[in-house]
Amino acid sequence: MRKLLRFKRKKKRASFLKRRLFWYAAGLLFLLTFLFWAVMFSSWLEIREVKVQGTNEVAKERIAAVVKESFWRDFFGVPQNSILLANLPKLQAELRERFPAFSLVSLRRSLPHALVVEVVERQQVGTWCARAQAGEDSPCFAVDRAGIPFAEAEQDAFFAVFSSWGTAVLGEELLDPSLLSLLLGFQEKFEKAGEPAGFSVSAFEIGSQGQVEARTAEGWKILLDLAESMEWQETKLELVLRQKIPPERREELEYIDVRFGDQAYLKYLD
């Protein structure tokens, strides 16, 4: 008996060029390539302008030059002048380091072609000078209310001089802010006190154990102790100036010592 043999016809495989998945993948690859080109090389998102806001002491051109210089540092061989590729945190840190006169630096993108740099400049409240050995020159620096030196400075009558041991590093804390605030408050109180208690402080010499010598513009000194209540020392000093020292004898003073308890000690020039 004969057997009937059946044969299945093989289906032809469709070419991968006719598959939808291939074209979807090709389209996605093309889109990603286009976007990569647009971000990296296209002039559409190229940074063309650097706007600097908030600076008075530092020239805007200097700040803009530092920013523009960073655009041409390669990122895997690609310049970073695209507004989307600009590394803002890194650039912000660099500006803070290059310009210690800034207490705050912020950057933001202003699409499509501008980068905005906003800065806050430190405001000088005093001049710090290193305590020097005899015969040595003492470098001086402008300090802000946070006790941070930010620029070299000359001594002048407008700002009190704070002197202590130490080495100034621009942009890093040098004077304790609470100490600085305390001494500035002392200075302000007596500048506004009026006659006969008023005077101007020209310098504070800060010792290593909390002893402070305040020198007045008239030439005499006040001896203070930071370990004691500053308010009580101010009260004693004001009472002495109002009740114990005739105005005509102020120029004969050498110092007033208000460091100890309820006492205030006077010394006149010999």
More confident of the two residues 11 and 70: 70
CATH number at residue 111: 3.10.20.310
Cβ neighbors of 60 (< 8 A, separation 6 or more) are: 52
Whether residues 185 and 265 fall in one domain: yes
Q: What is the pLDDT of residue 131?
A: 82
The answer, yes or no, to whether residue 135 has pLDDT greater than 50, is no
21 inside domain: no
Find the domain containing 135 and state its range: 122-173
Whether residues 245 and 181 fall in one domain: yes
Average pLDDT over residues 151-172: 92
Angle at 49 between CA 45 and CA 51, to 5 degrees: 125
Whether residues 115 and 129 fall in one domain: no
Q: What is the pLDDT of residue 76?
A: 53
The 10s digit of each residue's pLDDT in 96-129 is: 999 999 999 999 988 888 899 999 999 999 999 9
Pairing state between β 102-110 and 126-130:
unpaired
Is the whole-model pTM more than 0.85?
no
Contact 263, 223 (CB under 8 A): no
The 10s digit of each residue's pLDDT in 244-260 is: 998 888 889 999 999 99
Q: What is the pLDDT of residue 134?
A: 45
Whether residues 145 and 217 fall in one domain: no
Q: What is the pLDDT of residue 83?
A: 75
Whether residues 161 and 240 fall in one domain: no
**E strand segments, 122-247:** 126-130, 140-143, 149-152, 161-164, 201-206, 211-216, 221-225
The answer, yes or no, to whether residue 11 has pLDDT greater than 70, is no
Number of domains in the chain: 3
Cβ neighbors of 101 (< 8 A, separation 6 or more) are: 57, 58, 121, 122, 150, 151
